[in-house]
Amino acid sequence: MNFDRIKEKLNILADAAKYDVSCSSSGSNRTNKDKGLGNASGMGICHTYTQDGRCVSLLKILLTNHCIFDCAYCVTRKSNDIKRAAFKVQEVVDLTINFYRRNYIEGLFLSSGIFKNPDYTMERLIQVAKKLREEENFNGYIHLKSIPGASDELMREAGLYADRLSVNIEIPTKEGLKLLAPDKKREDFTKPMQKITNEIIQYKSEKKIIKSTPIYAPAGQSTQMIVGASGESDAAIMYTAAHFYKKFQLKRVYYSGYVPISYDDRLPSIGTEVPVLRENRLYQTNWLLRFYGFDIRELLNKEHPNLDVDIDPKLGWALRNLDQFPVDVNRADKRMLARIPGVGMRSVHKILYARKYRKLNWEHLKAIGISMNRAKYFLVCDSSYFESKDRTPEQLKDLILHGGKSKFNNVYNGQLNLFETPQTKRIA
């Protein structure tokens, strides 16, 4: 093995793959087989973190960065003058196995530029996965990219070896796509996605009848959208996400703040700041939809097409719906507890258990770990001290944002763990 050559390829093809944010290695149920190598059945593990704080869980590389397409937002676009390289199938297999044996990674995330045509590319990706599974008895996690435009037959095969498949729709609106990636149509993305969705459903129902049915893409599908490249609203992004979650039963939708990489005047110019705070607010909204029982229409609608930047989306919702507050923590149901600003799901569970033993007061709530700065205006508990109920939303927002500088920092550090000040920000 020529290490210097591999090293050079790895640098080029890892660098080109890093804008794909998905790093999840959870949700599979693939267990170790015949005392082979690996086990993907546990929870996901981040083996290390990049210096910008993103999790490194998988060996994330492109098979090649040669590409026949010219999508303006993409660093490997045909017209970009960069170094090109391509891995051989065996080289990727060796890297994956040897990194895995040293506990560097949970598995492989393999994507690719499109060379020759979509089917030819997809076939190569499948070859890598197949080799890992069948020749190396590798039971770690494999995430393959579905290549837009690949045939149904290949997509079906991919799911037999991969734990997760994903295809990035990248641009949330059809108009944006037409402008930035004129070679591609929305259908090119949705067709392979639909195929996988159908196969997953079919394999699952067969598994119920025939136990020996092989597992098929056990960690499901995900997708990614670029934020801030095509002038879209937050509502456009989140409604598209909600649509994809529902229609294709996606496990995750990722949001990736656009990192300027080109002088193309259709795009934000080089030097423009990456919209990391906005990205953060979108993830918060995503979490409210997935785990907190919110409906998208409550958070984003015609009157509010964009999220507040200075406050989190749950607080924003609460300020627009003050008639639903204050919530009595000793009596309210789970759904309403989860809607109190400053109370996370972990605290909700703690409250539900703790209040079986006694009525909770401010001391208990503080010890449990809710973020008092925000929460105190929205709840009542077993105490005679309450915040005034006669404040307008503007007054409340002002109080929370300017309730002392240190307190402001605490709110964000304690609950969100995201950034130091609104200027330097970044989300996990």
Query: What minimum distance in Å lies between the beta carbon of 126 and other proteins?
Result: 23
Burial class of residue 66 (count of CB atoms within 10 Å of its CB; 0-12, 13-18, 19+): middle
222 within 8 A of 166, measured Cβ to Cβ: yes
Among 364, 375, 411, 412, binds other proteins (CB under 8 A): 364
- Comparing CB distances to other proteins, the nearer of 191 and 281 is 281
263 within 8 A of 270, measured Cβ to Cβ: yes
Site residues (CB under 8 A) for other proteins, limited to 18-47: 18-19, 31-32, 35-39, 41-42, 45-47
Among 212, 384, 423, 424, binds other proteins (CB under 8 A): 424
Site residues (CB under 8 A) for other proteins, limited to 334-353: 350-351, 353
Query: What minimum distance in Å lies between the beta carbon of 303 and other proteins?
Result: 32
The b/e string for 114-139 (b: 16+ C-beta within 10 A; e otherwise) is bbeebeebbbbbbbbbbbbbeebebb
Taking the C-alpha atoms of residue 309 and residue 375, their distance in angstroms, rounded to an integer, is 19
Taking the C-alpha atoms of residue 328 and residue 338, their distance in angstroms, rounded to an integer, is 12
Query: What minimum distance in Å lies between the beta carbon of 40 and other proteins?
Result: 9
DSSP classification of residue 170: B
70 within 8 A of 17, measured Cβ to Cβ: no
Query: What minimum distance in Å lies between the beta carbon of 36 and other proteins?
Result: 6
Taking the C-alpha atoms of residue 323 and residue 197, their distance in angstroms, rounded to an integer, is 41
Q: Is 6 in the site for other proteins (CB under 8 A)?
A: yes
Site residues (CB under 8 A) for other proteins, limited to 245-284: 257, 259-260, 274, 276
- Comparing CB distances to other proteins, the nearer of 90 and 301 is 90
Helices (H), 73-213: 89-101, 118-134, 152-161, 174-180, 186-209
86 within 8 A of 124, measured Cβ to Cβ: no
184: left (phi over 0), alpha (psi -120 to 50) or beta: beta
Per CB under 8 A, the segment of 15-23, 156-164, 288-296, 394-402 that binds other proteins is: 15-23
237 within 8 A of 52, measured Cβ to Cβ: no
Among 10, 75, 86, 215, binds other proteins (CB under 8 A): 10
Query: What minimum distance in Å lies between the beta carbon of 402 and other proteins?
Result: 23
Query: What minimum distance in Å lies between the beta carbon of 100 and other proteins?
Result: 9
Cα-based distances in Å from 211 to 156, 207, 398, 426: 20, 5, 59, 45
Among 50, 269, 321, 324, binds other proteins (CB under 8 A): 50
Query: What minimum distance in Å lies between the beta carbon of 122 and other proteins?
Result: 24
Among 210, 357, 385, 388, binds other proteins (CB under 8 A): 357
- Comparing CB distances to other proteins, the nearer of 319 and 368 is 368
Taking the C-alpha atoms of residue 28 and residue 163, their distance in angstroms, rounded to an integer, is 6
Site residues (CB under 8 A) for other proteins, limited to 109-148: 137
How many residues lie near other proteins (CB under 8 A)? 66
34 Cβ contact list (under 8 Å, min separation 6):
137
Taking the C-alpha atoms of residue 420 and residue 428, their distance in angstroms, rounded to an integer, is 13
Q: Is 417 in the site for other proteins (CB under 8 A)?
A: yes
332 Cβ contact list (under 8 Å, min separation 6):
none
Per CB under 8 A, the segment of 81-89, 102-110, 217-225, 396-404 that binds other proteins is: 102-110
For the chain, state the CA radius of gyration: 24
Query: What minimum distance in Å lies between the beta carbon of 33 and other proteins?
Result: 9
Among 131, 178, 207, 426, binds other proteins (CB under 8 A): 426
Q: Is 82 in the site for other proteins (CB under 8 A)?
A: no
Per CB under 8 A, the segment of 16-24, 64-72, 185-193, 402-410 that binds other proteins is: 16-24
- Which amino acid would we find at residue 29? N
- SS3 state at 327: strand
Question: For the packed helices 118-134 and 89-101, what is the interaxial angle rounded to 10 degrees?
Answer: 40
Q: Is 103 in the site for other proteins (CB under 8 A)?
A: yes
Binding site for other proteins (CB under 8 A): 3, 6-7, 10-11, 14-15, 17-19, 31-32, 35-39, 41-42, 45-56, 59-60, 95, 98-99, 101-104, 137, 257, 259-260, 274, 276, 350-351, 353-358, 360, 364, 367-368, 417-420, 424-426, 428
